[in-house]
Amino acid sequence: MKLPAADVARFQEQGFLVYPDLFSKEEVAILKGEVPQLYAERRPENVREKTGDVVRTNFAAHTYNPVYRALSRHPRMIDPAVQLLGGPVYIHQHKINGKAAFDGDVWQWHQDYGTWKNDDDMPNCHAMNLAIFLDEVNEFNGPLMFIPGSHREGVLKAGHDLTTTSYPLWTIDHATIRKLVERGGIVAPKGGPGTALFFHGNLVHGSTSNMSPWDRLIVYVSANRVDNAIRRFKRPEYIAHRDFTPIETLADDCLMQFRRKAAE
């Protein structure tokens, strides 16, 4: 999948791209069909909400689940990352983030590269996120919020929040967020299952809690350029990966081999 020049320019200017229906309903059904079993497992890769026994994030499913292993090598995910980052990439992080109906908690304002730099010693922001909606994302179920253009500010000063939510983040103070929003505003991309979001590692983003009766599942593949590999290994390997092998993509229909299983 090669992005047109206009999309590359928009990514550089705004810091994100939205593609409705990049993955088909059938492909989404295959991906979503794996989630109940993944979330049911008692393993360290499942981080739970601080308020109860509800999974907030599943890490590294691509290392032990064949469906998500295929997704992590899908050309519709990897080819745009190689194009936008300017070279071969590896998977730095893989997450299935759930905001369960009524239980999904907030993600504070942050830059992902802030965490990758501070915790993993990633040299530069030659990294980005590629996300797929597995549920409809609407204004009520905790959509991701972006501050357009904020990635062009570089790495912003952040504090290490260890208490607000169940997952530690390097978060940005309110005064800085206010200035960024006055300049760039806030957008919350929404869409049906199969919608894809590609966004820069320095783009400031967050999301509110999910008070609605609708779940919100999103898969994130964080791609990092191979020559920008991390240099600190204090976090578990299932959170910050150490296999820096360049990804070789599979065929575009690679998910469809799992169609029979999803139908059963």
d(CA 73, CA 247): 6
What region does 93 belong to: left with phi over 0, alpha with psi -120 to 50, or beta?
Answer: beta
Residue range 103-126: mean pLDDT, rounded:
88
CA distance 54 to 46: 9
| Sequence spans of domains, the chain | 5-263
What the block records as the tokens of 231 is 């240099």
129 near 199, Cβ under 8 Å? yes
Fold for domain 5-263?
Jelly Rolls (2.60.120)
Of 54-58, 82-86, 142-146, the range with the highest mean pLDDT is 82-86
Residue given tokens 């999948």 in the structure block: 1
pLDDT digits over 15-74, tens only?
Answer: 999 999 999 999 999 999 999 999 999 898 988 866 667 788 899 999 999 999 999 999
pLDDT classification of 162: cutoffs 50, 70, 90: low
Which amino acid, one-letter code, is at 259? R
The region that residue 86 occupies, defined by phi over 0 for left and psi between -120 and 50 for alpha, beta otherwise, is left
Torsion sign, CA atoms 213, 214, 215, 221 = negative
Round to whole Å and give the CA distance between 176 and 229. Answer: 29
